Each structure stands twice: as C-alpha cells, then as structure tokens.
Amino acid sequence: MAQQHEHEQHRMAEVVRLLEAEYPDAQIRLRFHTPFELLIATILSAQCTDERVNQVTATLFRKYREPADYLRVPLEELEQDIYPTGYYKAKARHIRGCCQALLERFGGQVPLSLEALTSLPGVGRKTANVILGEFAEPEGIVVDTHVARLVQRLGFVQTANREHIEQQLMALVPRSHWARFPHLMIAHGRAVCRARRPLCSRCVLNHLCPSRQDAVP
C-alpha cells in the first residue's frame, strides 16, 4: 500500500512538472486587487463564468469599495447590480451577510485563515482556499469541475465527492503546489482535457493517463 502511494506521488509530481512547462502563465481568471474584492468575485462566480463575473465587477468594484458600501444600499439595488451573474438574490444575501460579519468580527478586513473564512456566510472551503491561495498559504486544494474531472481521468481518485477528492489530493500534491495545482488543472481542462471530446493526441499527459482514448481496454 505504501509502495503504491509512493508511486502515485511520483506520478503526480510528473503531472505537475509537465503542466508547469505547458502552462507557465496559468493563473486565476477573476480580476481583483484585494482579498475583499476576491471574496466578492468568488461568491459571484458560483454557477457563473469568470468572464461574466469580470464584466460585472468592473463596475461593481468602483461603486462598492468596502464592506460598509454593500450595506448602505437597498438589497434590491445590490441584486440589480449583480443580476447578470445569476442566482442574484442568494448571492446578494451572502454578500451582505459576509460584509456584516467582516465589520462586526474582523474590523472590516478579510481574515486569512480557513477557520475564520469559512465562518463567513456563504463561504465554504473552496472559496476560502481560493482567497488563501492568492493572499496567504492555502490549507487545502480547490476542487472545481475541471480539477475533479481531470484527476478522475488520470486515475488519482475514484470518487466524485469533492471533499474526498480534496483529501486525496492533499496527500499526493506537494504542499508547495497546493495553490498552483488547480490553476494548472483548469488551464489543461479548458485547452485539452475537455469534458466532451478530450484532445488526447495533443495531451502532454497522454503517457500517464489510463483514460486516454488510445488506451487498451
């Protein structure tokens, strides 16, 4: 068992090395300048493309600069301002709840620990680790749809449960790459390892992948 785990660690290290060479500029696509802006953008990104979020925040971040700004306007006005991102009523509630908590418990500043971040309304491990990955040290690995799909195809996990995937990845991916790993997976998932018709013939991980289309059943 230990030998198998060591083998998978070596295989994962090779995956990371190859993807680093392939996507040296891989990074988060959301646009932001501060932890607070990233918090808002990440809340808005649920069930929405990063491109659409960036279109909305280009105006939003000029109008709302700090937590108190989101509490000064009527809820309906905030809902209208974020309407294009979808699920705007729930997102507006989460944003207002977060801003209230930031002012009451954290002096208006975004805390940079997993425990504190996940205590905020509407903030789970994924959102927390997105923020920590950009401004501190992540305490886990962000698992989005691209990450989940790729690590399953690569045979590193045999589950669709995001929490279980994260725990298994934390045991395989070097901690120094916890923040970087999701960006590499997402870049590869968008460019090559697509949900439909993955471009296996163009994949730098082809020789490491048990799901490649030319693999023998």
Rounded to whole angstroms, the Cα distance separating 215 from 51 reads 35
pLDDT by residue (tens digit) across 78-113? 999 999 999 999 999 999 999 999 999 999 999 999
pLDDT of residue 127: 95
* 165, burial (CB in 10 Å: exposed 0-12, middle 13-18, buried 19+): buried
Q: 115 — alpha (psi -120 to 50), left (phi > 0) or beta?
A: alpha
Q: Please, are residues 157 and 192 in contact by the beta-carbon 8 Å criterion? A: no
148-159 mean pLDDT: 97
pLDDT of residue 19: 98
pLDDT of residue 1: 76
Among 63, 69, 91, 126, the active-site one is 126
Among 69, 89, 144, 214, the active-site one is 144
Q: Does domain 35-109 have CATH number 1.10.340.30?
A: yes
Residue 126 among the catalytic residues: yes
Residue 214 among the catalytic residues: no
Domain ranges of the chain: 2-26+143-208, 35-109
Confidence band of 2 (pLDDT split at 50, 70, 90) = confident
28-39 mean pLDDT: 98
Q: 136 — alpha (psi -120 to 50), left (phi > 0) or beta?
A: beta
35-47 mean pLDDT: 97
Q: Please, are residues 66 and 36 in contact by the beta-carbon 8 Å criterion? A: yes
What dotted CATH number matches 2-26+143-208? 1.10.1670.10
pTM of the shown model: 0.92
pLDDT of residue 214: 66
30-50 mean pLDDT: 97
